[in-house]
Chain A
Amino acid sequence: MNTGLRGLGPRLRRSGVRIGLLLALAALAAAPPVRAQVVVLDGADLLPVSGARITGGRVVMHDGKLAAVGPAHAVRIPSGAVVHDHRGHVIVPGLVDTHSHLGLYPRPNVPANADGNETSGPVQSGVRALDAIWPGDPGIRMALAGGVTTANIMPGSGNVVGGQTAYVKLRGRTVEEMRIPGSVGGLKLANGENPKRVYGGRKQAPQTRMKVAALQRDLFVRAQQYREKGGDGDGKRDLDLEPVVEVLEGTRTVHYHTHRADDILTALRLRDEFGFDLVLQHVSEGALVADEIARRGVACSIIVLDSPGGKHEAAQLGIETGGVLERAGVPVAIHSDDPITPSRLFLRSAALAVRGGMSEDAALRAVTLEAARMLRLDERLGSLEPGKDADLVVLSGEPFSVWTKVLETWIEGERVFDRSDPRQQGWATGGFLAVGNP
């Protein structure tokens, strides 16, 4: 791999490591860790997403932010910078996954680990993904090997109201370190057959789509009343209603699992009635009601799969949805739904959408800037622009080719995945337990 300290000999590089160790020891005494070093990624073609392709580009990262992005001839290398040679590579923004279950459905999938669906009742607005995300999930390392840097980690779709989602960066030993400061997160809702399956089998509510919608409508009405009264009236807080009030006030986004066209319209009907910020999730039959979605300007985060089926509501799912929605003028993101599709092949999902008729530009936006917008993080994420977080992915070639490899993933100026390290390759290709990865 042609990264390294350009212009320095091996000896100096080794001593650099020693100096680095000393600095690291010194840093241990002085928290928080400093990211003062200037790092330059030099020579790669840049796909900034916010603008046109830059051939032979240069990226300067400083203090966790992008300090400069442009053609190499137009961007000065700051003195003292560590320069990595990436000629022949392609750099894209860190990938943003708008629908993931990393840490909630960790590897391995055994009941001891599964914390995605609180199926003790169908309305769970009070539960938070934050309280169950396992930062040690090997899936997080696998996602980094796929270039994913930011994720909306959501409860599952077994409940009509699944709980509060968390917007995180895929780094850190604690969920506090992972959580994106200032982000509120979303509220997960679901309709269609999953909640029916969970509760219908027990002869509990909901058993029908009518009841699914009724439970959601009831929650929103109770939250309206709670808000109007300024609380319960007797001074007690209601932790189940507070996040729903945030939804009504527009500070928390509803991420709504919905597949069938009529289910999509039910979600839109609730949104029309209560006026919340809505991202439709999955949207398998979105092509059938693209005009209804477009008319409202509602964003869609879609899933792309190898085949349809597996359940009735996914029977019409196809790779054409992204293209149809794009042409209808709907904002489109593409998600992994990890572990439904593997995060380490996240770019493949976008590539299959291109196969299905989406433009390459829109498909790349769908896993970067458009995705960030749906999480209301586009001010700081999703494109290679000075001032934004230094989250990026170094690719061996064009982003939508099967032959392309994710070489490196960077979050806020730190390299969090490096394929050239044999101990890390297993995260990209598999067998990470057998080869004893860190």
Chain B
Amino acid sequence: MRRAPGLLLALCLGLVAGRTGAEILVVDADRLHPGNGPVIANGRVVIRDGRVSAVGPRASTPAPSGPVRQLRAAVATPGLIDVQTSVGLSGLYNVAADQDQDERSDPNQAGLRALDAFHPSDPLVRYQLEHGVTLIQTGPGPANPIAGQAGIFRTHGNLADAMAVRPVSALVFNLGEAPKRTYGKDHKLPVTRMGTAALLRRALLDGREYAAARGRAGGGLFGGDEKPPDRDLAKEALARAAAGDLPAIFVAHRADDILTAIRIAREYNLRFALAGASEGWLVADAIREAGAPVLVGPVMERVSAPETLNASYENAARLEQAGVRIAIRSGFESYVPKTRIVLFEAAVAAANGLGREAALRAITLGAAEVLGVDDRLGSLEPGKLGDLVLFDGDPFEYTSHVSAVVVAGELVHQR
């Protein structure tokens, strides 16, 4: 990585406080995108003890006295959020040794947790961080109809447990081509889309009945005649999803797959999001009526699988215009390149109808809302965590650079 010392960052105007002391960071930007309101020209963010303490125009936001670290940038935004990826599980090298996203031993893997495979030192985690992505929802890949549990993680850190903001954040379901491809060649369920849907229904029903049986067995002083069923972690996860405690994510591309997801989610009262949704723009009204947010993208994937043939760079814009809540994801890549970057995906969405502000929202506050972490992250507001990204120009321009990344007030990357 090339370094341009002193060009973009005027560092250490005061003494740099040690990690143990009270650390204050002041970021000045020609254009500050706070995420929850209009752009602030000549803006300033003050971060104290890892949290945002003040945001505003520089003129009216004094830098605290005492030791401060100061950064300058053309543009600053909140830390970027990738609402669905497999980075950390699906490693850079794409060899069996570093691929832990698809447990192909059985189509129902509801009991698996991303936390148990998240590899903090995979180079792609750092690669995401250097592109400004400070938070990811990562988890299983596309192979299984019931793929397992995703978690929400920091991209900065060494220990999965410490990086986990929410170790279990969603149960991931895959519809369409990928599960068929995984099992169909061996003539095992699912061979067809019908098979995938039937498998999902059966598993959700099993989960619901399991929870009911456990409840009956454990209920009340005089209850418990019934022997409780043995604990089953897969069924527990499905039961949590069926009870609305654990959000479901349905990865579905073709319009009919999207409608199948909505159908199943309604039958089992799931709290759910759609992901991928290449043909979402064709059924945007149905998605709006279902009330499901869409984790859009990636649209720069190789437009080649039949189910993504109608992928559109305008998908995000059209869904948003139809009143659908959107966020942008990097998704899963099986080959070269090994991951997409939501900064790049949002740029294409921005330039294809979504516009700069809405596209930025789809990878900051809008993404935090979809993940349910907007109380702590997603915008630069007093009290929120001090995650932000500095750019040397328009964040979405191909030729701009991420000049620095700050996580909870700590400068973790600079160009």
Task: Give chain A's interface residues, CB within 8 Å of chain B.
Answer: 105, 107-110, 142, 305-312, 314-315, 317, 320, 339-342, 345, 348, 351-352, 354-355, 357, 400-403, 426, 428-434
Contacts and interface: CB of A to CB of B under 8 A. Distances in A.
Contacts of B2: 320, 357
How would you classify the secondary structure of chain A's contact residues: helix, strand, loop or mixed?
Answer: loop
B322 interface: no
A341 B344 CA distance: 13
Given A306-B339, A309-B337, A309-B338, A105 B312 contact: no
Nearest to B400: A355
B397 A402 contact: yes
A310 B311 contact: no
Contact of B93 (A107, A311, A428, A431): A311
26 contacts: A109-B302, A306-B337, A306-B341, A307-B124, A307-B338, A308-B123, A308-B338, A309-B337, A309-B339, A311-B93, A339-B302, A341-B300, A342-B302, A345-B300, A351-B398, A355-B401, A402-B397, A426-B312, A430-B312, A430-B314, A431-B281, A431-B282, A431-B310, A434-B279, A434-B282, A434-B310
A295 to B, nearest CB: 24
A315 B397 contact: no
Contact of B335 (A306, A310, A429): A310
Interface in B331-349: 333-341, 344, 347-348
A434 B127 CA distance: 36
A182 B305 CA distance: 36
B59 interface: no
B78 to A, nearest CB: 20
Contact of A307 (B302, B334, B339, B398): B339
Given A307-B338, A309-B123, A314-B336, A351 B399 contact: yes
A3 to B, nearest CB: 22
> Which residue, A142, A429, A430, has most C-beta atoms of chain B within 10 A?
A430
A430 B313 contact: yes
Given A306-B341, A310-B338, 11 more contacts: A108-B304, A108-B309, A307-B124, A309-B91, A312-B93, A339-B304, A352-B398, A354-B398, A426-B312, A431-B281, A434-B310
Contacts of A431: 281-282, 310-312, 314
B299 interface: yes
A348 B323 CA distance: 30
B333 A310 contact: yes
Contact of B337 (A142, A308, A433): A308
A107 B309 contact: yes
Contact of B398 (A107, A315, A400): A400
B355 to A, nearest CB: 10
Interface residues on B, range: 35 or more
Contacts of A312: 93-95
Contact of A342 (B300, B344, B350, B396): B300
B303 A430 contact: yes
B304 A430 contact: no
B192 interface: no
Contact of A105 (B279, B304, B305, B335): B304
A5 to B, nearest CB: 30
B306 interface: yes
A429 B93 contact: no
B351 A403 contact: yes
4 tightest A-B contacts by CB? A309-B338, A430-B312, A109-B304, A310-B336
Contacts of A109: 302, 304-306
Nearest to A345: B300
Contacts of B348: 345, 402
B264 interface: no
Contacts of A357: 2
B265 to A, nearest CB: 24
B9 interface: no
B334 to A, nearest CB: 8
Contacts of A315: 92-93, 123
B336 A339 contact: no
A430 B303 CA distance: 9
Given A339-B303, A400-B399, A402-B397, A310 B337 contact: yes
Contacts of B303: 107, 142, 339, 342, 430
B352 interface: yes
Contacts of A339: 302-304
Contacts of B341: 306-307
A105 B400 CA distance: 33
Interface in B1-20: 1-2
Contacts of A307: 124, 127, 333, 337-341
A165 B282 CA distance: 39
Contacts of A320: 1-2
Contacts of B351: 402-403
A433 B309 contact: yes
A170 to B, nearest CB: 17
Given A354-B398, A431-B281, A402 B350 contact: yes
Nearest to B1: A320
Contacts of B310: 430-434
A307 B127 CA distance: 8
A308 B401 contact: no
A315 B338 CA distance: 9
Interface string B386-406: 000000000011111100000
Interface in B59-81: none
Contacts of A428: 313
Contacts of A305: 336-337
Contacts of B314: 429-431
Contacts of B336: 305, 309-311, 314, 317, 340
A312 B124 CA distance: 13
A309 B398 contact: no
Contacts of B281: 431
Contact of B313 (A108, A310, A351, A429): A429
A352 B306 CA distance: 28
A142 B309 CA distance: 12
A309 B299 contact: no
B345 to A, nearest CB: 9
Contacts of A110: 306
Contacts of A107: 303-304, 309
B169 to A, nearest CB: 23
